[in-house]
């Protein structure tokens, strides 16, 4: 966990370090133990008012692909510097016309021990065709909790940040 102050400093560093004009706006900078994810908004493609939804979707897909290729060298340079400074991998994403696309994100293994009732939940998801493996089923469960418990998780993160602040005010343990 990082504090909101550390989060703001990280976002500030990327805001200052990104080449001018790379994004229309820096949408989000998130961080965990392994990865920093930087997401920026890019311009929507200009289309006529008569363009169909299929044409619009294809144009957005093309714009995202064009941006990824055109900015690769700049993004790699920033990522290398950030990875040295923050000791985490950097992943990139863009938003364009309401579509979010992520580039090469970290997929970190997580080990856990589950009792039989918990394993049965995962096996049911596999049998039902929701997941291909226990690993996929567990990831699906985490996404479900994330989707349905955003407010609770936000409150929990804030509480953890408060605990870190209180600890920092105490005497040194050295």
Kindly tell me if the per-residue pLDDT of 111 is higher than 90.
Answer: no
pLDDT digits (tens, 9 = 90+) for 119-130: 999 999 999 999
Mean pLDDT of the chain: 92
pLDDT at 173: 59
Q: Give the DSSP H or E segment for 5.
A: helix 4-17
Contacts 24+ apart (CB under 8 A), 68-75: 68/94, 68/103, 71/22, 74/19, 74/22, 75/22
Residue found by looking up tokens 């009732």 in the block: 117
Considering only residues 65 and 165, tell me which one the structure prediction assigns the higher pLDDT: 65
Q: 89-96 and 99-103: which strand pairing?
A: antiparallel
**What pLDDT is recorded for position 80?**
97
Which pLDDT value is given to residue 26? 96
Give tens-digit pLDDT for 78-110. Answer: 999 999 999 999 999 999 999 999 998 888 888
Asked whether residue 172 carries a pLDDT value surpassing 80, the answer given is no
pLDDT band (50, 70, 90) for residue 157: confident
What's this model's pTM, rounded to 2 decimal places? Answer: 0.73
C-alpha to C-alpha distance for 97 and 66, rounded to whole angstroms: 15
């Amino acid at each position: 966990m990082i504090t909101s102050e550390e989060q703001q400093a990280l976002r500030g560093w990327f805001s200052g370090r990104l080449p001018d004009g790379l994004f229309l706006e820096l949408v989000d900078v998130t961080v965990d133990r392994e990865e920093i994810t930087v997401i920026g908004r890019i311009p929507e493609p200009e289309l006529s008012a008569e363009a169909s939804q299929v044409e619009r979707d294809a144009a957005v897909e093309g714009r995202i692909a064009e941006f990824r290729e055109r900015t690769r060298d700049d993004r790699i340079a920033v990522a290398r510097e950030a990875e040295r400074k923050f000791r985490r991998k950097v992943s990139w994403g863009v938003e364009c016309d309401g579509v979010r696309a992520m580039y090469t994100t970290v997929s970190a293994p997580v080990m856990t021990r589950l009792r039989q009732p918990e394993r049965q939940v995962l096996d049911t998801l596999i049998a039902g065709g929701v997941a291909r493996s226990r690993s996929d089923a567990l990831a699906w469960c985490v996404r479900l909790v994330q989707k349905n418990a955003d407010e609770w998780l936000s409150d929990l993160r804030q509480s953890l940040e408060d605990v870190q602040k209180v600890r920092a005010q105490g005497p040194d343990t050295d």
